[in-house]
Chains A and B, each alone.
Chain A
């Protein structure tokens, strides 16, 4: 067999370069690759992701039109699983609203692991992101930044910090940011489902476009149905109309 001296060394050195993906790691060639992502709870999504789930250390951008379209339900099952399997905290940096503890508890997320941080300004927020990611004291981060002040290089720093601290970082950005390039490892565009369920018991779903993913082309039209997911608690029984619930 032909041996080219030095090629092995080069290969092993290449293996250590961050953000370098090899052809053998492409999606669809999953066979030999150990997938170590955090299961999202939605098989259709896991199938499309490089790690077979949310990255354990990496930045994910969630692009949405307005808050409340279903972004928390999308992350819910994975947050529930890491909040019970890990002692590390889950940091929420500058959330637009209050993550409501009774509902988090009902989704299986351990509320005592939640750490809320409200920085005053953009610079402090970036510092907080970086500290949370770099120190590795948190298993996951959910963060919101001032879009107007956010720069490409700042996102790149966050991506590296997430790698370094092995933290799953989710950055929520407005949908308009989808047009710009970003160094984030995974970018998802969230659409509310076209055909919205009118039923009281159903919790709807999302359509996802993978704007950017590791080891694969962009992909659009992944349908996520929150009700079909068996890992979530059953939805509440129908509320009999008009029944007062006074304490």
Chain B
């Protein structure tokens, strides 16, 4: 086992600063119980000391930004970093509050050696807004201790010698024990390890002995590894409320990019995105963006989300934005997506050669290639549905039913499935109009001239939609061929145009 420990000294402050746009360089401090616990570079230059009160810090630097520590947010951030580190090794273990442990022995060859691996991990952390110190050792506790001490070394031999001279404060001992040891004049780990175990146990209890045994590798130190999450859910809490839809795009872009990385790692695409926008007061707004085919590029997430956002009512002041990915599915790039059309010949369609001319039509027009850069069906459907709503974009289906109004149906185009066209046998031998009126329009039969009919349709007695109708083909006074029917009670209705 070889453990890479990553320690983030400024974790809490960086987590807070990450939600601000571009102000990360201004002096800022993290405050817990009215005491400064972390300072960034700007605050350090102003000589704000750790442990001073907020009032002192403010008197030194009135323009100082200060943030209250949020342990819950830090915890969430750490588990997200752990998920991110999962791409380097399947054995990732968070060490709260501000460190990660990666077991990397198995990953060295893949990533080209320890140095390259550490560089990659460090670059990833920096991209997420976290500076880190690191160390590699054969036990997790030793790696952590060395990382906190900022050693940046790789220790492969038994760790005792490497720990020589490391101050005890970088370990995981409780403050009470540290103070007692300091009173005894013991401040470095090698001094502690030199003491006889029996006597130490008597004075400090078995917990300290257990810690030392795990530190040096005399005792096994099993760690719980994270499971890669199958659900993406991430949010950004804004420190200042933002107004307007344009201002929302900044956090949305961040979340979309994060999701795109998450999907790329798993070779997944997403079908449904759910944005939740929480205002200062009032109910939260939920926007859901659906894709006909799984997607994973953040650009299309943003384009479609933006269309959705344009049509939505936004609360005045927004405090947080979160993104959830539902219906994650394996992503596949299809050849059809690349060209917009596939080279299907009309024979392959399996379309029954009902008319002799159909073949000649198709022969006259070999698959014409569409314009360059043309979108696929799915992209168009996504685009339209994002702006107009899912209900406004529909597919048409033929159903096998004798009743004219049940011989068709529309479905949301998102649910597009490869359904074979149903050969409706219902209309066999009878002509049907190209335009259907839905619902039928009551008319005065005197205005029409009947041409042919009746065709009696009497069916549906097994449910409440029993109908008995006599259908006629008729001419309107404008010369349009109409489809009329008469119910048993002699009422006439216009049901379609042959057009």
Q: Which residues of A contact B (CB under 8 A)?
A: 38-39, 41, 56-57, 65-73, 76-77, 80-82, 84-89, 96-108, 110-112, 114-120, 124, 127-128, 131-132, 135-139, 164-166, 192-193, 196, 198-200, 203-204, 230-233, 235-239, 241-247
Q: A135-B374, A239-B455 are in contact. Are A128 and B342 (CB under 8 A)?
A: no
In this assembly, does B154 line the interface, its C-beta being within 8 Å of a C-beta of chain A?
no
Binds A, one of B242-250, B256-264, B429-437: B429-437
Q: Is the CB of A103 within 8 A of B434?
A: yes
Report the Cα distance A105→B357, complex, angstroms. 15
**Inter-chain contact B355/A245, CB cutoff 8 Å:** no
Is B364 interfacial (CB-CB < 8 Å)? yes
- Whether a CB of chain A sits under 8 angstroms from the CB of B362 is yes
- Residues B355 and A233 in contact, CB atoms below 8 Å apart: yes
B104 at the interface (CB under 8 A from A): no
Question: Once the chains are docked, how many angstroms separate the CA of A108 from the CA of B498?
Answer: 15
Q: Assess A39 versus B478: contact at CB under 8 Å? Given A108-B355, A128-B388.
A: no
Given the complex, which residues of B lie within 8 Å of A66, measured CB to CB?
478, 480
User: Do A245 and B379 touch (CB < 8 A)?
Assistant: no
B336, B370, B449: the one within 8 Å of A166 (CB): B370
Binds A, one of B11-19, B56-64, B124-132, B402-410: B402-410
Contact A131 B434 (CB under 8 A): no
* In the complex, chain A residues whose CB is within 8 Å of the CB of B23: none
> Which of A76, A120, A231, A247 contacts B388 (CB under 8 A)?
A120
Show 16 A/B contacts (Cβ-Cβ < 8 Å), sorted by A. Answer: A67-B497, A72-B434, A72-B435, A80-B361, A98-B408, A101-B407, A102-B424, A106-B431, A114-B395, A115-B377, A117-B388, A120-B388, A120-B392, A136-B340, A192-B479, A239-B455
Q: Which of A112, A199, A231, A236 contacts B395 (CB 8 A)?
A: A112
Closest A residue by C-beta to B376: A137
User: Is there contact, CB below 8 Å, between A102 and B408?
Assistant: yes
In the bound assembly, the distance between CA atoms of A89 and B379 in angstroms comes to: 12
When A117-B393, A193-B479 are in contact, do A71 and B499 touch as well, CB less than 8 Å? yes
- Once the chains are docked, how many angstroms separate the CA of A77 from the CA of B396? 19
B316 at the interface (CB under 8 A from A): no
Could you say which residues of chain A place their CB within 8 Å of the CB of B498? 68, 70, 73, 203-204
A-B residue pairs, 9 tightest by C-beta:
A68-B497, A136-B374, A192-B479, A200-B452, A231-B357, A81-B361, A101-B398, A247-B459, A244-B456
Are B432 and A117 in contact, CB atoms less than 8 angstroms apart?
no
Contacts of B480 in A (CB 8 A): 66, 68-70, 192
Given contacts A84-B349, A86-B341, contact A103 B433 (CB under 8 A): yes
Instruction: Point out which of A96, A128, A239 has the most chain B C-beta atoms below 10 A from its C-beta.
Output: A239
For A116, the chain B residues whose CB sits under 8 A away are 393-396, 410
Closest Cβ neighbor of A57 among chain B residues: B371
B205 at the interface (CB under 8 A from A): no
Residues of B near A73 (CB, < 8 A) are 434, 498-499
B354 contacts chain A at the CB level, 8 A cutoff: yes
> Do the beta carbons of B395 and A115 come within 8 Å of each other?
yes
Do residues B344 and A87 form an inter-chain contact, with CB atoms below 8 A?
Answer: yes
User: In the bound complex, how far is the Cα of B453 from the Cα of A114, in angstroms?
Assistant: 30
For the complex, give the distance between the alpha carbons of A89 and B496 in Å. Answer: 24
| Contact residues in B for A72 (Cβ distance below 8 Å) | 434-435, 499
Besides A86-B341, A115-B377, A242-B454, 4 other A-B contacts (C-beta < 8 A): A80-B358, A100-B433, A200-B473, A204-B479
- Chain B positions within 8 Å of A132 at CB level: 380, 384
Known contacts A99-B434, A112-B395, A239-B452: does B365 contact A82 (CB below 8 Å)?
A: yes
Judging by beta carbons under 8 Å apart, are A85 and B362 in contact?
A: yes
Contact of B424 among A57, A105, A128, A165 (CB under 8 A): A105
Contacts of B365 in A (CB 8 A): 38-39, 81-82, 85
B interface residues with partner A (beta carbon < 8 Å): 336, 340-342, 344, 346, 349, 351, 354-358, 360-362, 364-368, 370-371, 373-377, 379-381, 383-384, 387-388, 392-399, 402, 404, 407-408, 410, 413, 419, 421, 423-424, 426-427, 429-438, 449, 451-460, 473, 475-476, 478-482, 496-499
Asked if A138 meets B438 with Cβ closer than 8 Å, knowing A87-B342, A103-B432, A200-B473, the reply is no
Q: How far is the CB of A35 from chain B (nearest CB, A)?
A: 11
CB distance from B382 to the nearest CB of A (A): 11
The answer to whether A114 and B341 touch (CB under 8 A), given A39-B361, A131-B380, is no
Q: Chain B residues with Cβ under 8 A from A239's Cβ?
A: 429-430, 452-453, 455
CB-CB < 8 A to A112: which residues of B?
Answer: 395, 419, 421
> Across the interface, which residues of A come within 8 angstroms of B381, CB to CB?
115
Q: How far is the CB of A23 from chain B (nearest CB, A)?
A: 27
Which A residues are in CB contact (< 8 Å) with B430?
Answer: 236, 239, 245
Q: How far is the CA of A136 from the CA of B481 in the complex (A)?
A: 34
For B408, list chain A residues within 8 Å (CB).
98, 100-102
Chain A residues, Cβ within 8 Å of B429: 236-237, 239
A137 touches which one: B375, B388, B460 (CB < 8 A)? B375
| A244 near B499: Cβ-Cβ < 8 Å | no
A118 to B393 CA separation, bound complex (whole angstroms):
7
Question: Which residues does chain A contribute within 8 Å of B457, judged by CB atoms?
Answer: 245-247
Residues on B with beta carbons closer than 8 Å to the beta carbon of A233 = 354-355
- Please measure, in the bound complex, the distance between the C-alpha atom of A99 and the C-alpha atom of B366, giving whole angstroms: 27
Contacts of A138 in B (CB 8 A): 380
| Best-surrounded residue of B336, B399, B424, B449 (most CB of chain A within 10 A) | B424
